[in-house]
A and B are shown apart, each in its own frame.
Chain A
């Protein structure tokens, strides 16, 4: 789960990390009030879960409260990469001496949280990594022991020479580690970590991603999810415990398992079609999930055909068949459905579908080709 910048800032603040003043606003009036309180020139920044906000006009400089209100009214309600902006962050446009990058990431290779710091901050860290990897210092933390004092110091020494800066940054490393661990993050990033002309070290911008698997046991984190900034069909899917990503094609896909779902999309493309979505109904599916999946897919007007590709393991194919039958009883599906089912309880599944006059297939390539052909016919 991606947190908004203002939410990430709040978690950093709770951990004691020094930050510029500032707050989040939902209306131009609120933005104006924050700008007045903060004083001086401020930056008004769109809070949406996409990159490239600046280029899209979602980040603006305002020299006074009136301008802040003006900027906010321009940004609030605008659409960036398909997402509507509902909140803006208003922070001082700071005088900055240096900019560094500090990130903490759950790393697959070392199987540990790994710090990455660079004194080339403020820019896109992916670019630094690609062009000048020697400017990035990496350090894996053993979570059994936690971040050691000498490790935090080593990271701080990679960024600063001045001992006051080093001391401040050392403390921030410990605090960021605490934020990461105590919130079940998979990423916690300060970019940039800045020094000011008067010698302070402050976090200017923050990004935190929470491991979705933590949310069940961490209701305090789950409530941070801001669904207003997301694609509504994806929100609807998540609420139904489905993993759904909307795409631009016309073949709606309902698949169990992320790998098979991706392979299904690949095969749709292979046979000349375009997938309308990624949709994984997951394991242990029950009929209800299938009904919800069909509701979400049929709501997309681009969809010309619906392709089920279910290989039963922990998922029972009879559950899926029952779901398809239940859905078609609840609402009329206007587009053709191509069903491929095989695996656990497959015989029962075929019987269930046959009993309502629906046909099912056994072969993935045949089903995908047929779905692509039907989509082309309908186009």
Chain B
């Protein structure tokens, strides 16, 4: 049996559905609320105020607000497979089966061991960490453990599994209206009537904004909320309008790029699997209207953080929206008229308003008279100088107050109570305006920061603009939206200006919105009371902390923020920042405008990381690219290697083979019989146009203008700094037509670079580039039997395989498949790179393997390819080079044309430092012990016994066991390497083993003359 909803009123709000009771638990106890309740309203309905403990002092905390501004009521929700910390009870809509619990307490809310911190609070003023825990130095890591353990709010579950979906959605509109209060609704209506594509979004569960709370007057002769409902209904019916609720506008960025976080199923007890938990909208709006309303400021006095102390507007919302009377013996503490309406509401709901304490000396308003007439004790020129209670407010001290000099001028009167509603005036919600670097101006009259409406693209209206009077807000909404519509209509024929647009009329109570700003209510003993006068409730920053920061020289508002952590909690200071600035300004004897504000940053309220990640996780984090032969590799047991986004067959282990055995077998087979490699991932670029030869001449270091048609040439590309960028073989297909290949990883970069050169540097060249990487599948057939196999597969003119000189190309048919065959070799064996239109890739591969079987054809992967080429001393860009290596360093002087007047990188190579003998240069290494394979990446030194730090010569870039040479081989980039051939070096090991001794040699280990490759 769950307890009774003792504080639920009999009234009948439309926001909650009394027909639908909802069961939930909080800290293990069962409660019943109604559909439409938030966790906060449902708990308050049971008289539960204590819902959490504060961050630093573990003070008991209750519910302060009624929406996203809430700093205190952070709770954790348990799900079957995980838990979600730090959710605001004031926004969390209850559903059947909700399991919620309080945070930051041990063992329980009522008894929290760390609340002892509160007693020692005087030892932990702001910044105390910086002053202590320094001795002895070695113990900081020990202290830190405890500090960390005490900090932090909620807990996440470690064995977390998130079954939920999170969606992203791009959207575009003519006008985004942020906030669905009276102003926002009117703005949306005006724009929608003109035919604009409108999105209106509000973070609450329904549109209406403040009207949902304050509904005792008329708009256009209808009760305010009826007017709103009519507008909402109209908007819903229009195809050009999208109405979003539970949608927080999280960020406003350059060019009206807006992020919105929509909570789709969080409030439902049955969450259908296909619907996302949240949806992140990525919106581009032509214009934005910010109608985000205002947030009430607390008043700062000793004990203002006790459970039972609430914002006045929140208290009113709980009464009107949720039919909940949060306190039965209420003190109202205010510096403006608005709180009197809360007093009235409490009174009318049957609560007892013990006293209205007004800081203003002699305020005059109809409502004050009304309250006095009702016999309520109204004390103007007074202040609540302290609130008392242990886990709940029990009493207050009230005294006459001198607002000029800041202090009580009479003895305090003690009054008991169980509730306090406070109002310090309104802060327009300027966050989205400020995120865009919109300026703020301090408005002396209304005592608030207002946005400076300067942009054509985003405008603030209504309370968000400091226009608190409803009638004026509606007029403003109408006028400003109409002018935006006029601008939009100039660019967009869909939008038709409607004139004149009627402004809704209101009969609201005329009230004085201007508060009397008193940033800090002092008791007679300020040193003591300031320490319990909370400014930032969540981070436990007090008025005393702010004053201490100033005393210690932290004067900038940004320093105060960082020294005291004010405004840095999960509410980002929605209720605290302006008060803190006020106290700071007073302490520094400056005006608020001179003091400034801290920087507003996204998001408006914390935004789920899961929603931000969306579906770009798991296998969809980054595309995987595969070749057309992939299924064969897979079926034949290949292990794959990542090469950029490509998955390449790395090696094909057979039953019982280890890695090295597989590689040995593949390498051996290729050298002795024949091997087949899937080379489809090589980048391929079709180069066509009259200036193609000239172009290639400029981008390669060697000469391509002289390349005869049908012939291929290896080329090296540098960047303008002279460093090796890419390499590959390019073939001339026709006078004005070339077929270029690039490395697999470099393909996109090379194409982009070449395009850039053509479009920016050399616009005079007439050349077209087209990527054909995926158009062709490539099988590289190599080994002594390669020609035989090729011949066996050729469909016509088989003899042409005999007359096939090295570095030439032929177009023919293989197994009936049209093919371009290149007689080039990366293994040092007689080899053919067979290119076929990609759709035949698999057919070609399978055919070659079938026919090759009797000639011992073996599929080999990239690892065997690496070994084969290393035996020949061929470099791999990215392995022997790292962006700091020139062709000279690779001992490839031969490939750098001395004749060409220019090519990319030429001038850089001429710098004096580029050909200096002590640069790191490519050499081969042979270990003394032929069975020792040096780990790749290891560094060589001359003297292994020297002290650390050692003088290193350079690193081993490639290192393998060569089954053909029956020994290990390695390549290295060593300082002055070319002149050191014949010398010994040592390679120190990481694992404590003895350094490996090796001799510097030429990097070509096998078939130095290249007889095999030429055939």
Do A and B share a complex? no
